[in-house]
Amino acid sequence: MCGIVGKYYFNKNAGDSSDIDAMMQAIYHRGPDSSGKYINGRAALGFQRLSIIDTVSGHQPLYNETKTIVLLANGEIYNYKEFVPFLESKGHVFSTRSDCEVIIHLYEEYGIEFISKLNGMFAFCLYDTRNDVMFIARDRVGIKPLYYHLNKEAIIFGSEIKGILASGEVVTEEANDCLAEYLCFRYVANFRTFFSSVNALEPGTYIKISPNGCTFEKFWDLSKYVLNYAQDGDLVETVDAALTASVQRQMMTDVPLGTQLSGGVDSSLVSKLAAGYSPGLKTFTVSFFESAYDESAYARLLADSAGLEYHQIRVDGKTFADTLPKVIWYHDEPLCHANSVHMYLLCTYARQFVTVLLTGEGADELFAGYPRYQICRFGDAYNKLNPSVASLVKSVLKGVPARKIVKIVDNLGLGARELALWNSSFTTKEKVSWLLDSGDVTLDARSALVDSVWNDELSLFDNLLLYEQKSYLQPILMRQDKMSMAASVESRVPVLDNEMLDVANTIPYQYKVRHFTPKHVFKKVAERHISRKIVYKKKVGFGVPVDEWLRDHSGLGRYLDLLLDTARGINGVSRPRIEQLIAEHASRRYNHGDVLWPLVNYAIWREQFFK
């Protein structure tokens, strides 16, 4: 686990390496153990290392035997040992025990097509100096981040946006089409960022870079999967075996390893399976003073029953508020998830004991774990009613004030693609339009992403899960990477191992949800290993009481003053309407945390990057 930065100039005589040290320094936290760089007339590459495998000799850049191929790689290649005997038989000589060195020799043997053979999480830069061609690539689902800026003279890239901005060659300018979408969904989709000239490389993609420019190529895509509707009775066994193998595979390390244990079913199952290979494993949990958000009792239950070493921190509103600006800085963009703060604090604490953490991320998106998916179920059923019955149903539901019912009503009448698009929203487009004093909220990039994954031969629900992997899963993975790396900790996601992707993405939705029980198959697997009290408890989802904390002026509420002070400088924002929202929220007349929380993030982010 590391960080990479680099530049490639299309005109060899235009190369400038004077800022590579500043770019490396900007991502120092990702790899404080060692650093390295490669510079020639065309390219400048920098690397910060967090030592995990081969801590003695695995320094980067890595080279082939003739030093004509240069590699910087962030991440882990879990199946690297499978390739070593074959490559050695072909005459390749390994200079380290690093898992990433196989990338160089696989490239020599197969060309860039080797990428599809890798099982791992990675973002790498491979520079073939003989042919003056460079490749930068990102793993299948986007576990590891990779950003780039492209202009007529060069491509500049890095593991984090701040590493690119440190080059001094990129204008730090806010994207003008993000705020409304962010307020609705708390992130921007389709691999854009809040910076106008910086994009995220799409997962499963590599860029071929040469003096002629850049070409983008996909080496993996969700469209390759075909649903198997003839699932037999061994489905639970298949998922169990795949997850067990994935956990075992991802426990490879030369440094201490633990697990991030929330008390939910996903992290509990991963922790229990990991305990089978490392008895007495250390686990790390966040607890809350607010009982409605606290799952630590379930985390302790799992740890005690599995013989794990339990560690816990507790976070209050003041600590959250004090830490928030630092976390936004590490995140590069306004936060999507409030629990990013807790994850950073937990990883900072865990770093005293371990360098690697296994997590349960990805299970909800692969196995249909979010209760909000039921909204699409209601919407789909509503669309099949005759108009008179549909009108009656909608009028009855409008009279029910419950928040979840309100969201169901808001989505009634939407088409299949719109149901998928709006399923993960946190507020309504009407509220955002009112706040920004604008017309309808435009979501062209998000709609294009829906269209790119949609398969008319599949059900709404199977399409929804494919879309979720390209959309909502992305900020979750960025949170996991950036908060752990901010603390110099490597986090891994066994549920998103290649084998798990291959299994989960061939299971139709009807097997993943039974009646109104989400994540049915996954929970059946969990029943085999952990207490049913954990498996079937109400989903909390690592929630954070930000609505209440916004009312505490000594805590999170202090940033509402910053929001008001900067409101007039935010394009399209109406200060009087923000004042109205704050007053109504403080008096408890209405709960406006759905827009005040993202606006606070946005205000802090603008202060840090644009002041």
Digit-coded pLDDT (tens) for 527-576: 999 999 999 998 876 679 999 999 999 999 999 999 998 887 777 788 89
Residue in 2, 125, 347, 376 annotated catalytic = 2
Confidence (pLDDT) at 275: 97
Which whole number is the average pLDDT over 377-394?
A: 89
Task: Provide the 8-state DSSP code for 223.
Answer: G
pLDDT band at 229 (very low <50, low <70, confident <90, very high): confident
Summarize the confidence of residues 53-69 as an average pLDDT.
Answer: 89
Give the residue-averaged pLDDT of 478-485. Answer: 97
Alpha-carbon gap, residue 46 to 60, rounded angstroms: 9
Res. 133 pLDDT band, cuts 50 70 90: very high
Give, in words, the CATH class of 224-539: alpha beta
Give the separation between CA 301 and CA 537, rounded to whole angstroms.
13
Where does the pLDDT of residue 426 fall: very low under 50, low under 70, confident under 90, or very high at 90 and above?
very high
Domain boundaries in the chain? 2-220, 224-539, 546-610
pLDDT band at residue 450, thresholds of 50, 70 and 90? very high
The two tokens of residue 385 are 């009613």
Is 184 designated active site? Answer: no
- CA–CA separation, 133 vs 186, rounded Å? 37
Report the mean per-residue pLDDT for the chain: 94
Please name the residue ranges forming H helices in 19-129: 20-26, 80-89, 101-110
Which one is predicted more confidently, 392 or 584? 584
What lies within 8 Å, CB to CB, of 330 at 6+ separation is 29, 344, 482, 483, 485, 486
pLDDT value of position 232: 60
Confidence of residue 126 (pLDDT cuts 50, 70, 90): very high
CATH architecture of 2-220: 4-Layer Sandwich (3.60)
Cα angle: 467, vertex 468, 471; to 5 degrees: 85
Which DSSP symbol is given to 281? Answer: -
Q: Tell me: the pLDDT tens digits for 156-208? A: 999 999 999 999 999 899 998 899 999 999 999 999 999 999 999 999 999 99
Q: Which pLDDT value is given to residue 58?
A: 80
Q: Is 441 annotated for ligand binding?
A: no
**Does the annotation flag 286 for ligand binding?**
yes
| Distance of alpha carbon 256 from alpha carbon 90, whole angstroms | 34
Q: Percent of the chain at pLDDT above 90?
A: 84
pLDDT digits (tens, 9 = 90+) for 365-380: 999 999 999 999 999 9
Output the pLDDT for position 302. Answer: 97
Confidence of residue 452 (pLDDT cuts 50, 70, 90): very high
DSSP state of 508: -
Banded pLDDT at 56 (limits 50, 70, 90):
confident
Q: Where are the beta strands (DSSP E) in 129-234?
A: 133-138, 147-150, 154-158, 199-200, 205-210, 213-218
The answer, yes or no, to whether residue 462 has pLDDT greater than 80, is: yes
- Residue 373 neighbours by CB under 8 Å, 6+ apart: 423, 461, 464, 513, 518
For helices 373-382 and 387-398, what crossing angle results, to 10°? 140
pLDDT tens profile 9-48: 999 888 889 999 999 999 999 999 999 999 998 999 999 9
Reported confidence tier of residue 394, pLDDT bands at 50, 70, 90: confident
pLDDT at residue 231, rounded to an integer:
67
